[in-house]
Structure 1
Amino acid sequence: MFQTQQKLIANNYPAWKYLLLVVITIVGLTYAMPNLFGDDPAVQISPAKSVEFNQGTQTEVASLLDQAGLSVKSSVFENGRFLIRFHNTEDQLKAKSILKDSLGRKAVVALNLAPATPAWLQGLSAQPMYLGLDLRGGVHFLMDVDMEAAIDKAYLRYIDEVKGTLRDARIRYVSVDVAEQKLEVQFKDVATLSEAMPVLRQAYENRFIMTIDETTAAPKVMLSLSQATIDETKKYALQQNITTLRNRINELGVAEPVIQQQGDRRIVVQLPGVQDTARAKEILGATATLEFRLVEEQGDPYRAEKTGYAPNGSLIYKFRDGRPILLQRRIIVSGENVINAQSGIDPQQGSSMVSVTLDGAGGRKMLATTKQNVGNRMAVVYIENRVDTIEENGQEVKKRVTTKDVINAAVIRGQFANRFQITGLDSPQEAQDLALLLRAGALAAPMEIVEERTVGPSLGQDNINQGFISVVVGFILVLVVMAWRYKVFGMVANVALLLNLVIIVAVLSMLQATLTLPGIAGIVLTVGMAVDANVLIFERIREEMRNSSIQTAIYAGYEKAFVTIADANITTLLAAIVLFSFGTGPIKGFAITLSIGIITSMFTAILGTRAVINLIYGNKRVEKLSI
């Protein structure tokens, strides 16, 4: 017991602790280093759908840049796309304009910022942190989800389900339709209604509120979605739209996008580095999808259009050239069942087409339909929702417009299931866009862009410079105060503080986190808070020196201050976790950097400074401490 106490008071660390500190320092420096090299202005050239780049394309691109007299820093062709780096932004913008005009529709040309990390660091998978919209520049969209349309869509989905439930129970109904956000099921008499109610209650009691109306000639039951079902439908619509937007943005090839929920019906989309918003806005705002319906052959579509009456409960649609056509109400499959779509050229007609692959459920529905309807026609309905800004009474008013065009109505020649082609498209570009939207999935509800902002790269650079200056100034002030107040111990704390900053940056880089201005605020706050632990330890050592030996005072200062340090940092860490759990994007960024800073500061302030102090004063006869 006496030997153990003497060993502790000697203030020696075992070799493995020093080795751990050295390893963490080396790893931290290695993975923080890529952030020192900055970014190169670059142009990214991706092939359009159905296009492949080859050696000829590479030669063409090089020739175009050479003829324009643009100085290229480097050009890399990887994964079927080009990444061309330039020395300055002016050359980057000129190159984009030239390449976009020359390559036309066979390529997507976009501005980019490529990390200038050396190859040897890239070989270690060391990459710089991503920069958020407020630092890098880009575009910001705030999108509002039409929850009323989502609920209407939910009612429409239940029509076929309710019909199927009644058919399975061998109960005859007159009609099942939606009226005033209620599902009305009509029967020929009260007896049939009474027979149907137990079946409907068993199947839908948890989803609908049921009201019986026997006052009409055909008694009916009205099914209204329960509040729990409405809430679930809205939540599903929001999450499905977020997933769809993320898939669409992945198709666009945008790096480190931010897509997150705001409130109960809005979605924030931030695309750092994107300056040309036209393409992004077109894809994000589009809500195009498809519906496959059988053609109602019994009836004259021109007569139905003239009279406004469609026979057999069918619906009146139109081709793009204005010709009317009657379609059955039942939707065979929709865009939600599409798992893959590729644009191409129809070898027989030479026109644009899209090859579609359905999921298992969609394939089964399509097989069952085509099996029973060989020789009949099936129509492909292209549905697009958009928001037009029109002027009414001298004011700009946003109006939602929905277009439903039949793009194809072909005869079913044989059975098919989950693989088939859509023809009748106007252009290759339309086929490419439709394939992209179908691959990304259908939106559960239409959306409207209610706010759009573009942050220029110059503003982003200004934010970076201001944030960097704030970190440096705060860091230097802390260094000066600590060195003046605690002498050698203060210098040791300053070294630990520098190591703490390096480790924070390294962790953020290894996690490939997105750094924003609130994140920088978290780092600045951490720099100020990181020395708190050392201040507590050093003040405790001063107190212990009045009644104890030098070595005992050092030991007691670290040991007795540890509980206080742990309590203070744990409570702050809990607050950061709460901020992360309930906050939105900027708050989450602040909470992440603050949490990382708290953990690393405890490591450097306790283990790091103790290791250096042990090297300086440990196991030595010391008469006075420079503290």
Structure 2
Amino acid sequence: MLQFDAWKRVLIWATVAAGLMLALPNGFYTRVEQHNDAVAAIELGADTPENQALAAQWPSWMPSALVNLGLDLRGGAHLLAEVQVADVYASRMQSAWPEIRDALRPERATVGTIRLQPSPPDELRIRIGEIDGMPRALQVVRALARPVQTLTGVGANDIDVTSDGDVIIVTLSEAERLASDQRTVQQSLEIVRRRIDEVGTREPTIQRQGAQRILIQVPGIGSAAELKEIIGTTAQLTFNPVVSRTSDATQAPGVGNRLVPSLDEPGLFYVIESAPVVTGEDLVDAQPSFDQNGSPAVSFRFNTSAARSFGDYTAENIGSPFAIVLDDEVVSAPVIQSHIPGGSGIITGRFSVEESTNLAVLLRAGALPAELVFLEERTIGPELGQDSIDAGKIATMVAFAAVLVFMFLSYGLFGIFANIALIVNVAMIFGLLSLVGATLTLPGIAGIVLTVGMAVDANVLVFERIREELKSARGPARAIELGYEKALSAIIDANITTFITAVILFAMGSGPVRGFAITLGLGIITSVFTAIYVTRLMVVMWFERRRPKTIEV
């Protein structure tokens, strides 16, 4: 006999109701999206009447999670960037010079004078006065080498030290270059992700592509140029000793120094030492603030080791100027008045409030270790995204209508039950997508359309099996019961194989392929649930109410 325990009926209808509730916000997408943005802004402190009004557009006790729309549906920006890893080699060589100089100074009796020579960007050339002291000089410099911190570089050191006459040549080893490339790209990836997250964009796609490239897709942003402004600024902050000031832009700075312009005073240039005292990488926090005159500024704080280095430098150089350099421009060059032990300070300049806020965001997210060169950029307008949504709606509605008509004409009342389950099925797909925070793309819509077609397969198997049992002179109750029992194994087998395919597509694919796999996989889960439980429960409830002597399927 057909039976459904009361607890099973409650559980099935509760699951259906939960799925419909989770899917409901997507029917009021713009209103709920504005509500969510306003609530987030209020939590951050922007408790304005406008935000309160927007937050009141949707009841707070209702679910408010939405299906995120992908780049092809919402519009946005697409960038393909290449990390210039060679920049890091030059930076490493510059920062190595003070350490090597300090190590060789106690050996002057043996090696003579120590002079930095003009060098290629990825080399460091140091001339010594006594060529007979070269073996000792090489020994001292090689002692500064450190092991490469990667599995592939086990046993190798980070620098190679050779000589050419009276010149010591220091370069990065091949193992260190490979490790540095890996670290640089990974660090750039994380910093790009942090910068975009700071802006608050929805569901960006940021992933490595190839050895030195990063793919960046951000839905909902105005243009590729706007996205480049967010992530393209290197925000390299350094604190360098000042050698001199000049108005001559052609002045030769000398070996180990560089000439940089002043940000606030056009025509003024500073000669600074290339090796910084501390860098922006040592910052642990940066916040917009105001100076003693009420002008916008940025306050910062160093980590413990950098605070100690900065404090030692200021204690030893009271009365000397030092430069705060941001992206190869001197923001300010104050004179050290006293020892600064706390590891905190403030950057002043001719900032607007917006500029100081943006600078704090960039410094807090971290400096890009190397320049990004944008190889490809595209802006996908919201109109094109809306066209994709409209096309997807039309395709889904046509498929939906065709399936509904076919099931009604083929199976009559039982077909109506299957159609109701199909509507519940699609709603539950959107409910699950909202629950897991998935991103819906155009291929994802294709997965939903495919699910609509596949969802009725299980019901077709059951109904055809019931027809066969009715031909065997079974009673209607027994025919319905055997129809579901005997079709169950075929339904499970067919859907498991398709689900395995969806899992493989998700694991091995990327981007659009994953979007298709997610909707296909979730659609299979909801299809099996609605076919085995929802449709069957509706048939049982109808049969208990009508008690027909005969049925037609």
Name the TM-score class by shorter chain: 0.7 to 0.9
Match of 1:315 in 2: 258
How many angstroms apart in 2 are the aligned matches of 1:484 and 1:135?
35
Match of 2:285 in 1: 340
State the Cα deviation string for residues 445-495 of structure 1 (Å, max 9, x = none): 222344443333333333222211211111111122222223333332222
How many angstroms apart in 1 are the aligned matches of 2:14 and 2:225?
48
Residue 578 (structure 1) aligned with residue 511 (structure 2): no
Match of 1:101 in 2: none
State the Cα deviation string for residues 595-627 of structure 1 (Å, max 9, x = none): 211111111111222222333447998764422
Match of 1:143 in 2: 80
How many angstroms apart in 2 are the aligned matches of 1:237 and 1:203?
15
State the Cα deviation string for residues 55-94 of structure 1 (Å, max 9, x = none): xxxxxxxxxxxxxxxxxxxxx9994266869xxxxxxxxx
State the Cα deviation string for residues 91-138 of structure 1 (Å, max 9, x = none): xxxxxxxxxxxxxxxxxxxxxxx9999533x4223344233333333x
Within a 5 Å distance, the mapping from 1:15-414 to structure 2 comes to: 15-39=6-30, 79-80=45-46, 119-120=58-59, 122-137=60-75, 139-152=76-89, 155-156=92-93, 159=96, 163=100, 179=120, 181-182=122-123, 188-194=133-139, 197=142, 200=145, 206=154, 208=157, 213-218=162-167, 220=169, 222-226=171-175, 229-275=176-222, 279-296=226-243, 308=252, 310=254, 313-320=256-263, 321-348=266-293, 351-383=295-327, 404-412=328-336, 413-414=338-339
Check 1:527–1:382 CA distance in 2 against 1; reply closer, same or farther (3 A cut). Answer: same
Contact 1:149 1:446 in 2 (8 A): no
TM (normalized to structure 1)?
Answer: 0.72
How many angstroms apart in 2 are the aligned matches of 1:115 and 1:450?
40
The one-letter code sitting in structure 1 at the alignment partner of 2:346 is Q
State the Cα deviation string for residues 564-611 of structure 1 (Å, max 9, x = none): 333332232222223223333222222221121111111111122222
- Select the residue among 460, 463, 477 that pairs with 2:385: 460
- Select the residue among 479, 488, 494 that pairs with 2:419: 494
How many angstroms apart in 2 are the aligned matches of 1:595 and 1:264?
31
- Select the residue among 390, 396, 418 that pairs with 1:471: 396
Deviates more, 1:546-555 or 1:239-248: 546-555
How many angstroms apart in 2 are the aligned matches of 1:603 and 1:586?
26
Q: CA deviation at 1:362?
A: 3.3
Deviates more, 1:443-452 or 1:188-197: 188-197
How many angstroms apart in 2 are the aligned matches of 1:164 and 1:16?
80
Match of 1:436 in 2: 361
How many angstroms apart in 1 are the aligned matches of 2:356 and 2:511?
35
Within a 5 Å distance, the mapping from 1:501-540 to structure 2 comes to: 501-540=426-465
State the Cα deviation string for residues 525-550 of structure 1 (Å, max 9, x = none): 11111122222333344445555844
The one-letter code sitting in structure 1 at the alignment partner of 2:275 is R
For structure 1, which runs of at least 5 residues remain unmatched after alignment? 1-9, 47-52, 54-75, 86-113, 384-403
The one-letter code sitting in structure 1 at the alignment partner of 2:46 is G
Deviates more, 1:267-276 or 1:414-423: 267-276
* Number of residues of Structure 1 aligned to a counterpart in Structure 2: 532
Check 1:376–1:251 CA distance in 2 against 1; reply closer, same or farther (3 A cut). Answer: same
Within a 5 Å distance, the mapping from 1:553-592 to structure 2 comes to: 553-592=479-518
Q: CA deviation at 1:144?
A: 1.0
Higher strand share: 1
Check 1:362–1:562 CA distance in 2 against 1; reply closer, same or farther (3 A cut). Answer: farther
Q: CA deviation at 1:381?
A: 0.9
How many angstroms apart in 1 are the aligned matches of 2:286 and 2:270?
26
Check 1:309–1:37 CA distance in 2 against 1; reply closer, same or farther (3 A cut). Answer: closer
How many angstroms apart in 1 are the aligned matches of 2:362 and 2:332?
18
How many angstroms apart in 2 are the aligned matches of 1:246 and 1:526?
33
How many angstroms apart in 1 are the aligned matches of 2:17 and 2:229?
47
Contact 1:117 1:127 in 2 (8 A): no
Contact 2:90 2:122 in 1 (8 A): no
Contact 1:339 1:441 in 2 (8 A): no
The one-letter code sitting in structure 1 at the alignment partner of 2:512 is P
For structure 2, which runs of at least 5 residues remain unmatched after alignment? none
- Select the residue among 14, 19, 24 that pairs with 2:5: 14
State the Cα deviation string for residues 371-392 of structure 1 (Å, max 9, x = none): 4433333211111xxxxxxxxx
How many angstroms apart in 2 are the aligned matches of 1:210 and 1:411?
36
Secondary structure of 1:375's counterpart equals coil
Check 1:185–1:545 CA distance in 2 against 1; reply closer, same or farther (3 A cut). Answer: farther
How many angstroms apart in 2 are the aligned matches of 1:281 and 1:195?
45
Contact 2:395 2:449 in 1 (8 A): yes
How many angstroms apart in 2 are the aligned matches of 1:224 and 1:256?
39
Match of 1:595 in 2: 521
The one-letter code sitting in structure 1 at the alignment partner of 2:58 is A
The one-letter code sitting in structure 2 at the alignment partner of 1:143 is L
The one-letter code sitting in structure 2 at the alignment partner of 1:124 is M
How many angstroms apart in 1 are the aligned matches of 2:177 and 2:49?
47
Q: CA deviation at 1:409?
A: 1.6
Contact 1:302 1:324 in 2 (8 A): yes
Q: CA deviation at 1:242?
A: 3.6
Contact 2:288 2:297 in 1 (8 A): yes
Contact 1:142 1:268 in 2 (8 A): yes
The one-letter code sitting in structure 1 at the alignment partner of 2:268 is R
